[in-house]
Amino acid sequence: TNGYGTASDHSVVFTYDHTAPVTKSNAPSTIQVAPLTIVLSATDAVSGVASTHYSLDGAAYKTYTSAGVHVTTWKTHTLTYYSVDAAGNTEAKHTVTFAMRQPTTLSIYAPPTGKRKHAFTLSGYLSPGTTKDKITLKYQRPGSSAWHYVTRYTVKTGSRGKWTYKYTPTLKGTYHFKVSYAGSTTRYKSGSTTKAVKVS
């Protein structure tokens, strides 16, 4: 109001934001066997999201961009993330753990026929394979559906993942063979196809 009694008024509308944003990720809950990009999505219904931040495997925090978090290393990862809204509210940190394993392929070769009490050679490749990788051979005897296991043995030095095993059948009929690799902390388990050998 001025000295002549003339008055005017103004109003301002403002919002008080006391709620932090909510951030979600699409990090996998199962083992992955390929590189992946994790997407973080944050929402804030009041003042809006100002920024999202993340840390992969304990590294320094980075500001998230639309490119996502690209992960290529074969191991178990830990991702921590949070968002901040335009009012300065900081979300509590979220932590997710997910595993990435390098895919492996395992092959098996077996002769189509064999003779009772005469040894024949089974062979194949574990790819990628290194010295000391352990392969388990499984077989079914003629007329049985039960799988029997041969003690694990090791891929030989300098063989580039090749494995061999000599087997001596004691019965006549059809044997079935397959091999499996249990994997390691960086590689994913795999199994071969099944091969049949008719023993006379």
Q: Which range, 76-90, 118-132, 157-171, is most confident?
A: 76-90
Q: What is the pLDDT of residue 194?
A: 96
Q: How confident is the model at residue 129 (pLDDT cuts 50, 70, 90)?
A: confident
Q: What is the pLDDT of residues 148-193, one digit of tens each?
A: 998 777 787 667 788 889 999 999 999 999 999 887 788 888 899 9
Closest CA to 130 of 45, 187, 177: 187
- 3-state SS of 24-46 is EECCCCCCECCCEEECEEEECCC
Confidence (pLDDT) at 34: 86
The residue written with tokens 């997407």 in the block is 39
